[in-house]
Amino acid sequence: MNILGIDPGSYNCGYAIINSEKNNINLIEAGLIKTKSIDFKGQILELIDGLDIIFKSNKIDDVAIEDIFYAYNPKSVLKLAQFRGVIICKIMQEFDNFYEYTPLQIKKSITGNGKADKNQVSFMVRKILGIKNEIKPFDITDAIAIAIAHHNFNR
């Protein structure tokens, strides 16, 4: 089963595709959809184009996305919610279904601690996948963690 994990973001949207068979997890592809446009409409179109490339160039069985989290800046939360809405709309057009996980659920599934920091999540993602080198930026690590969490919740 190939699982696409998506960490929504307005400038950097992390994505990762893992293959999970029973207890074996292998990373197929991971990266960022970077938006370069300054205006919101341009960013939306770049995000849609990036998702389209990922969807068309990979076999994907399930899609998991991080649920929105509370931030201190309401304007940032609203913008993230809009980008997340675009991502969900594109997913629904292609796959009819997706799964959502809160940051707490993802962290707990990966590290055993729902309050783990990004370094702890990154360490465990690398350990689970047998990767020695650091994975940067955290948007990519988070996307991998989302895909692994979906695997863990559906075993």
Q: One of 7, 39, 96, 142 is an active-site residue; which one?
A: 7
Catalytic: 66?
yes
Q: Which structure tokens are listed for 18?
A: 């893992």
Q: Which of 21, 100, 139, 142 is catalytic?
A: 139
Q: Tell me whether residue 7 is one of the annotated catalytic residues.
A: yes
CA contacts within 13 A on the Cβ side of 18: 27
- Helices (DSSP H) in 27-137: which residue ranges? 40-57, 74-95, 103-111, 118-129
Catalytic residue list contains 61: no
Which among 39, 66, 94, 134 is annotated as catalytic?
66
Rounded CA gap, 57 and 124, in Å? Answer: 28
**Rounded to an integer, what distance in angstroms lies between the CA atom of residue 121 and that of residue 123?**
5
Contact criterion met (CB below 8 Å) for 17 and 28: yes
Closest among 4, 8, 31 to 86, alpha carbons compared: 8
Mind telling me the catalytic residues? 7, 66, 139
